[in-house]
């Protein structure tokens, strides 16, 4: 059922002049104000205005991740998770869309993809005619509608509603590029950019193990792999054996 705009805006922000017809929109808007941080970490005094930021923060409390990928810097506390992750590098994508040839290793990705094939879009914006099949997409849309972006860059006209986004943006202006490609001269200020860049070298695996047929395009990955031979760490060369490591 489509939402009818009556013109009445009974819900007003106490921090600025923002008004809206619906309480849910006001709650999302309040998250843009720094003093409103409803999401709290149960391990420390960290607070944030976004649930996604809290999830990322909680990960930092768990430093014991013994299972590591030899193709990238992914680490996890569970052996099963590593198996699932390695399927990405192997090209093994068991989950398939019934409507097209899309494949993925992640159930959540398939769910989001399938939403594209349906005309059922129950999540509607109360301020405009935007509709979507996913609740998460509606949340992102509502946040983009607000003009209140209190965190601004003093070097350019960049503005954001999230403080940590501004911190990440400011790295661009420092000129510091600590993340370097081990295959070519590419440098970047962001780890994510380096990961994306390394995908162009997937067929160029210069560094090879002298003990087995393992190869990689990243030098540090080879070092970690060789240490696995030395220390008799399980799961060497992408094999997923028991914890004893008797396969080595």
Report pLDDT for 131. 84
What are the extents of the domains in the chain? 11-61+130-145, 67-117, 207-238
Q: What is the pLDDT of residues 174-187, one digit of tens each?
A: 888 888 887 788 88
pLDDT band at residue 83 using 50, 70 and 90 as cut-offs:
confident
Element (H, E) at 58: helix 51-59
Q: Rounded mean pLDDT of 76-103?
A: 76
pLDDT level of residue 235 (50, 70, 90 thresholds):
very low
Pairing of strands 179-180, 207-208: unpaired
Quick one: what percent of the chain has pLDDT higher than 70? 69
Confidence of residue 60 (pLDDT cuts 50, 70, 90): low
Fold of 11-61+130-145: Double Stranded RNA Binding Domain (3.30.160)
Separation between Cα atoms, residue 139 and residue 136, nearest integer Å: 5
pLDDT value of position 206: 64
Q: What is the pLDDT of residue 22?
A: 76
Is it the case that residue 171 has pLDDT exceeding 70?
A: yes
> What pLDDT is attached to residue 3?
42
Work out the widest C-alpha separation in the chain, in whole angstroms: 73
Looking at the domain 67-117, which fold is it? Double Stranded RNA Binding Domain (3.30.160)
Give 19's strand partners: 12
Q: Say if pTM beats, i.e. exceeds, 0.75.
A: no
Confidence (pLDDT) at 240: 36
pLDDT at 173: 84
- Intrachain domains 11-61+130-145 and 67-117 with the same fold: yes
In this prediction, residues 187-208 reach a mean pLDDT of 73
Strands 123-124 and 67-68: unpaired
Q: Is 170 helix (H, G, I), strand (E, B) or coil?
A: helix
pLDDT(114) > 80: yes
Please state at what angle helix 135-145 crosses helix 23-30, rounded to 10 degrees.
70
Q: For residue 139, what pLDDT is reported?
A: 75
Q: Which of 237, 58, 122 is nearest to 48 (CA)?
A: 58
pLDDT at 224: 76
The band of 242, judged by pLDDT with boundaries at 50, 70 and 90, is very low
| pLDDT above 70: residue 247 | no
Q: Which of 93-107, 170-184, 225-239 has the lowest mean pLDDT?
A: 225-239
Per-residue confidence (pLDDT) for residue 223, from 0 to 100: 76
Give the pLDDT score at 5: 44
């Amino acid at each position: 059922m489509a939402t009818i705009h009556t013109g009445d805006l009974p819900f007003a922000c106490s921090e600025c002049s923002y008004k809206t017809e619906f309480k849910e929109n006001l709650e999302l808007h309040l998250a843009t104000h720094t003093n409103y941080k409803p999401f709290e970490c149960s391990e420390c005094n960290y607070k944030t205005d976004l649930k996604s930021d809290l999830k990322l923060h909680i990960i930092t409390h768990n430093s014991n991740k013994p299972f590591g990928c030899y193709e990238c810097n992914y680490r996890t506390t569970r052996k099963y998770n590593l198996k699932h992750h390695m399927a990405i590098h192997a090209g093994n994508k068991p989950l398939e869309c019934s409507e097209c040839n899309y494949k993925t290793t992640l159930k959540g990705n398939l769910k989001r993809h399938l939403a594209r094939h349906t005309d059922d879009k129950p999540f509607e914006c109360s301020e405009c005619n935007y509709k979507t099949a996913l609740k998460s997409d509606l949340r992102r849309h509502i946040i983009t509608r607000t003009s209140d972006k209190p965190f601004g860059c003093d070097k350019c006209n960049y503005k954001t509603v999230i403080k940590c986004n501004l911190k990440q943006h400011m790295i661009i202006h420092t000129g510091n590029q600590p993340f370097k490609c081990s295959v070519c001269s590419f440098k970047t200020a962001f780890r994510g950019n380096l990961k994306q860049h390394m995908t162009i070298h997937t067929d160029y695996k210069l560094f090879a193990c002298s003990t087995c047929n393992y190869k990689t395009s990243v030098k540090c990955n080879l070092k970690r792999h060789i240490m696995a031979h030395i220390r008799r760490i399980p799961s060497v060369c992408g094999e997923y054996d028991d914890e004893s490591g008797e396969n080595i």
